[in-house]
Amino acid sequence: GAGVSQSPSNKVTEKGKDVELRCDPISGHTALYWYRQRLGQGLEFLIYFQGNSAPDKSGLPSDRFSAERTGESVSTLTIQRTQQEDSAVYLCASRKGGVSYGYTFGSGTRLTVV
Amino acid sequence: TQLLEQSPQFLSIQEGENLTVYCNSSSVFSSLQWYRQEPGEGPVLLVTVVTGGEVKKLKRLTFQFGDARKDSSLHITAAQPGDTGLYLCAGNTDKLIFGTGTRLQVFP
């Protein structure tokens, strides 16, 4: 597609349930990133995929968070046993080439844990 | 840990005023990017600066990268209500490290 697509756009879940967030990057973009943005704050890095290399998971806040990506296509971010502090907008971005290229962001998934 | 501090955090100004947003770090970055984010949307790239001392202009916006590649500034001339948004600087390593953000409100 023309842009980065994320689904769902909004998700309300009960505390303790698992959620899956999906990201469809721009075709041909080799790098894919997940960020978290709490209300009124900047973006917090979560995880980064680059081609077939091992992902950089250094930003994942706990072992309840995991992400997968198959090749250079769709990625899913999974949060197990959600907590209220997980409430945030989860943003996905893809990048075409090297680090000097701009990132193209999706519109995000707004997760609310009640 | 690489941190990017932005100042000010919040800025409310009248249409036609000038403003400058600062982005500072103790780390050196290979390049630095500025993004603007509107409510309900992801950040959108405004500019990438690569060379120390580099100045780039985008209409009424002027971006400067510090000589040591640790800091940057964004200057907006004659701000318009359409400039309202969250401005984010981001330093490039193998991933983008985002600044704390500056929320700009321009009133007509």
Mean pLDDT across chain A: 92
C-alpha triplet A66, A4, A31: angle, nearest 5°: 60
3-state helix, strand, coil in chain A (%, to 5): 5, 50, 50
Kindly state the tokens that stand for A103. Answer: 């990132």
- Kindly report, residue by residue over B20-50, the tens digit of the pLDDT: 999 999 888 888 999 999 988 999 999 999 9
- Kindly report, residue by residue over A19-33, the tens digit of the pLDDT: 999 999 999 888 999
Given a contact cutoff of 8 angstroms between Cβ atoms, the answer to whether A66 and A49 are in contact is no
Residue A84 DSSP class: G
- Distance, in Å, from the CA atom of B48 to the CA atom of B70, rounded to the nearest integer, reads 14
Residue A97, pLDDT score: 75
- Region A11-22 average pLDDT: 98
Q: In what order do the strands lie in the sheet with A75-79?
A: A5-7, A19-24, A75-79, A65-69
- Kindly report, residue by residue over A82-101, the tens digit of the pLDDT: 999 999 999 999 998 776 67
pLDDT beyond 70 at A66: yes
Query: Is A114 in a helix, a strand, or coil?
Result: coil
- Region A58-65 average pLDDT: 95
The residues pairing with B103 across neighbouring beta strands, listed in sequence order, are B10, B86
Which contacts qualify for A62-70: CB closer than 8 Å, 24 or more apart?
A67/A34, A69/A32
Sequence-distant (6+) residues with CB within 8 A of A34 are A23, A46, A47, A48, A67, A75, A77, A90, A91, A92
Mutate to test the interface with A, among B41, B88, B95 (most CBs of A within 10 A): B95
From the DSSP assignment, how many helices (H) and strands (E) are in chain A? 0, 10
Question: Contact B88/A106, CB-based, under 8 Å?
Answer: no
- Region B97-107 average pLDDT: 94
For residue A21, the tally of other CB atoms under 10 A from its CB is 21
Question: Contact A102/B42, CB-based, under 8 Å?
Answer: no
| 75-94 of A, contacting B, C-beta below 8 A | 91, 93
Question: Contact A100/B30, CB-based, under 8 Å?
Answer: yes
Mutate to test the interface with A, among B9, B96, B102 (most CBs of A within 10 A): B96
Sequence-distant (6+) residues with CB within 8 A of A12 are A112, A113, A114
